Chains A and B, each alone.
Chain A
């Protein structure tokens, strides 16, 4: 009797093994400085895997393919990323790749994926530069840094056709500087006069000198920022010093829920965000924003951050490309990715196909959130783009 069970189990395992599987490989920063963000992204990818396997797998050419994930801890270190992506490709023989979290690590992984000609969907990486190197197999999910603040400026122009003087003040980091430089060029194109364009050191806690300069320059609106700590401090001191700005838009910090701790200083502050649970996109494939948010809440007991949404979206993009290609053949999937033009719960997805920018995200737009008071309590509202908004922009804020 016991032997019969063993035999049955073996047969069962054999049957499963013979079913089609598509394996997606990537690394996760389970340790090191990107730990929180990267694990968030992993949760999104895992949720996608569960979602698709629960439906019986991906329908490709009349057959169902189950999704298997293969990943390692990259310790947030570039050298580990290169070793591990080589291993994923040559030893583990994965079919497709998803990037690690962060632009820095993704740049390293991209070298390997390109070397082996493996398709890699890059999520958690907003850098433009990776896509200016002539790579043919890397595709970006996030809105690139060069367009981080362009939506903010469009919104500002739409809110106030007469506003002229803006200040762009940014943290001296590679990311924020790239965003600010691109924003300056765009602002000038939009008819704004950039009266102050200046960086501040990463560890700045006293924004007094910068605030004096903003006043002296007579700026009417401010865009800039960098990361959480500096952004929160900057917003607080702008409020304390009663700087008369009609709009304040900062990178990263206001998009975080902790920003509410600033109280009245948070009021009216705008931030670009890759994605927010409240968005109202009309998806053409995959779950709706509300369905994704509910699934995530059921699985992890909290609201999804945009990094998790980005992880799910990366899986969804690969899935859609395989379905469109009707095959897992890399060349066909690549052609499907090049032709892709869809709207997911995450937003519009379309990749650049010209050789100079191949794989750069063209479709996805940042949503602009603003801290507004709702029944006496501070809450984030989506105010831009109009297709995704949940409330009107409050303008001017002071």
Chain B
């Protein structure tokens, strides 16, 4: 029994971080109908950002603030160069365009850092919760994911800019008629989505080693979490991530570890068959 509890707790904590990554993906989709295939590469970029900042002497948790700002700026740039010009073209074009961005990031990253694993080596303490050992890094990562999500909600529902983002997501023409500068809002939304992806990457980097290719795994998990929660629904994405983590955690004690993915995706398919628009419904 304690083993299952330990495993479920592990799953819950890591699930919150998956959820944060998924929010980044689902936000961009919800606001501008773009499936961002550079999501994984951007997550990896977040990992390296915190690694480099740590190398420069900044504690990884302080580094998170810088990573968020960098992510925002980088997202706006990517939007202006690779997304905006083809926003009204068929969906395949934005898929190809963001995929190209992914290839560029991974290509440059491989040239600079190779595909060897890197670690953010900072002292980690352990805590006893319910008689089970948890590393402080896992707790902080989960807590940070919850805080960032809370902050995002505050932004979306309590600030003028956030309300404008929701308005544009709802109906771009109508928002423009109300005087909302939709292009700027879209750029900011893409920036926020990118910042969230980079933040989740940075948090993952405090837990596990990573390479420039590591984003792929988390991109896949983000897609699954987003679809589970209903595409375009940030709360759903967070909960989708938590569900994903819980599935991983609760099946692990009973089966061989190599089978975790099989079970995870089998449950995913089952949920989709039962709830085609995700557990919490898609929302624009």
- A residues with a Cβ closer than 8 A to B are 172, 198-201, 203-206, 208-210, 212-213, 215-216, 229, 232-233, 236, 240-242, 261, 263
Contacts and interface: CB of A to CB of B under 8 A. Distances in A.
A206 B208 contact: yes
Most B C-beta atoms less than 10 A away, residue of A204, A212, A263? A212
Given A199-B258, A212-B10, A216-B3, A205 B208 contact: yes
Given A209-B7, A212-B7, A241-B126, A198 B209 contact: no
B210 to A, nearest CB: 7
Contact of B135 (A199, A200, A241, A261): A241
Interface stretch (B171-179, B187-195, B249-257): B249-257
B117 interface: yes
A250 to B, nearest CB: 15
A216 B253 contact: yes
A310 B248 CA distance: 43
A242 B126 contact: yes
Interface string B199-223: 0000000011110001001000000
B100 interface: no
Contacts of A198: 256-257
Interface residues on B, range: 20 to 34
A213 B253 contact: yes
Interface in B208-264: 208-210, 214, 217, 248-249, 252-253, 256-258, 260-261
B14 interface: yes
B126 to A, nearest CB: 6
Given A172-B258, A261-B121, A205 B209 contact: yes
Given A199-B257, A208-B14, A216-B253, 19 more contacts: A198-B256, A199-B258, A200-B257, A201-B261, A206-B207, A212-B252, A212-B253, A213-B3, A213-B252, A213-B253, A213-B257, A216-B3, A229-B117, A233-B117, A233-B209, A240-B124, A240-B126, A242-B126, A261-B119
A263 B121 contact: yes
Contacts of B133: 241-242
B217 A209 contact: no
B249 A209 contact: yes
Interface in B142-186: none
B283 to A, nearest CB: 31
Contact of B3 (A199, A203, A215): A215
B16 interface: no
B211 to A, nearest CB: 8
Nearest to A239: B124
A209 B126 contact: no
B14 A206 contact: yes
B6 interface: yes
B257 A201 contact: yes
Nearest to B207: A206
Given A201-B257, A212-B252, A229 B209 contact: yes
Interface string B1-18: 011001100100010000
Nearest to A243: B133
A241 B134 CA distance: 7
Nearest to A213: B253
Contacts of B208: 205-206, 233
Contacts of B253: 209, 212-213, 216
B256 A208 contact: no
A25 to B, nearest CB: 33
Contacts of A209: 7, 10, 248-249, 252-253, 257, 260
Contacts of A201: 257-258, 261
25 contacts: A199-B257, A200-B257, A201-B257, A203-B217, A205-B208, A206-B207, A208-B14, A209-B10, A209-B248, A209-B253, A212-B10, A213-B3, A213-B257, A215-B3, A216-B2, A216-B253, A229-B209, A232-B117, A233-B208, A236-B119, A240-B124, A241-B126, A241-B133, A242-B133, A261-B121
A72 B252 CA distance: 47
Nearest to B10: A208
B19 to A, nearest CB: 16
B6 to A, nearest CB: 5
Contacts of B126: 240-242
A213 B209 CA distance: 21
Nearest to B208: A205
Contacts of B248: 209
A212 B6 contact: yes
Nearest to B260: A209
Contacts of B124: 240
Nearest to B210: A205
A263 B123 CA distance: 11
A298 to B, nearest CB: 29
A208 B217 CA distance: 17
B217 to A, nearest CB: 7
Contacts of B121: 261, 263
Nearest to A228: B117
Nearest to B136: A240
A124 B3 CA distance: 41
A200 B252 CA distance: 11
B249 to A, nearest CB: 7
Contacts of A172: 258
Contacts of B14: 206, 208
A219 B248 CA distance: 23
Interface string B70-95: 00000000000000000000000000
Contacts of B249: 209
B208 to A, nearest CB: 4
B100 to A, nearest CB: 25
Given A212-B6, A261-B121, A199 B256 contact: yes
A32 to B, nearest CB: 14
Nearest to A216: B3
B254 to A, nearest CB: 10
